[in-house]
Amino acid sequence: MRPRQRRLIPTKHLPGATFGGDLLKNSHAKSERPFSPRAAIHVVMRTRGLFSLLKRGRRDRIAQIVETHAKRQLVHVHRFANAGNHLHFLVECREQERFQNFLRAVSGAIALLVKLEEGQTRTESFWLQRPWTRLVAASGRAFVSAWRYVDLNEIEGGAWGITRREAQAIQYGDLGPPRPWLRLKGRM
């Protein structure tokens, strides 16, 4: 049974809404990963290998790993995108410990899957950096913007050699991203 959905709240008053990734490239964490039980979280996990997450049909197995661990940890995945060398999630979780367990389990299972398939025995880390997370205001532009960004990365990862511009043309049709001032310009 799916946990009852609570109304999400804006996160503009939360201090330090981002954590990980390039922010911690040269040092260890000096603070905790920000968390709010009533906010959505945008997560990015980068790998060392170029397109290592798409080789030999891994896309479905990685999606299955994410789905399995999300159910186990009661994490609601709004959006998920496999872009080849990085993963994007837009998730919601009510408990910080479950969210951290989800990140640990997913990153470990995916690294194990890829390393075993490629026969790697190196102790070098599979992930380039710590998972980057950002709390997203749960309603309005910030949430829709993160949703569209994850979708854009899914389009880019789904086709080999597609550029960001071509992916935007696919996502928004041939018109490009919506621009409200273009509609007003023609009527004045």
- What is the rounded distance in angstroms from the CA atom of residue 76 to the CA atom of residue 35? 15
In terms of Cβ atoms closer than 10 Å to its own Cβ (0-12, 13-18, 19+), residue 13 is: exposed
Q: Is the pLDDT of residue 183 over 50?
A: no
| Averaged pLDDT, 90-99 | 93
CB 70 within 8 A of CB 77: yes
What's the predicted TM-score (pTM) here? 0.74
Q: Among the residues of the chain, which ranges form H helices? A: 58-73, 96-118, 141-158, 164-172, 180-187
CB 128 within 8 A of CB 47: yes
Dihedral angle of Cα 52, 68, 31, 88, to the nearest 10 degrees: 40
Q: Is the pLDDT of residue 186 over 50?
A: no
- What is the rounded distance in angstroms from the CA atom of residue 69 to the CA atom of residue 112? 15
Q: Give all domains of the chain, ordered by start, each with its CATH number.
A: 18-138 (3.30.70.1290)
Give the residue among 13, 73, 70, 2 at the shortest CA–CA distance from 39. Answer: 13
Q: Is the pLDDT of residue 45 over 90?
A: yes
Q: Is the pLDDT of residue 109 over 60?
A: yes
Mean residue pLDDT of the chain comes to: 77
- What is the rounded distance in angstroms from the CA atom of residue 108 to the CA atom of residue 125? 11
Q: Is the pLDDT of residue 182 over 70?
A: no
**pLDDT tens digit sequence for 58-74:** 889 999 999 999 999 99
| Averaged pLDDT, 1-10 | 53
Beta-ladder partners of 89: 43, 80
**pLDDT tens digit sequence for 8-29:** 555 454 445 655 655 455 556 5
Percent of the chain scoring above 90 in pLDDT: 27
- What is the rounded distance in angstroms from the CA atom of residue 140 to the CA atom of residue 63? 27
CB 35 within 8 A of CB 18: no
- What is the rounded distance in angstroms from the CA atom of residue 93 to the CA atom of residue 18? 16
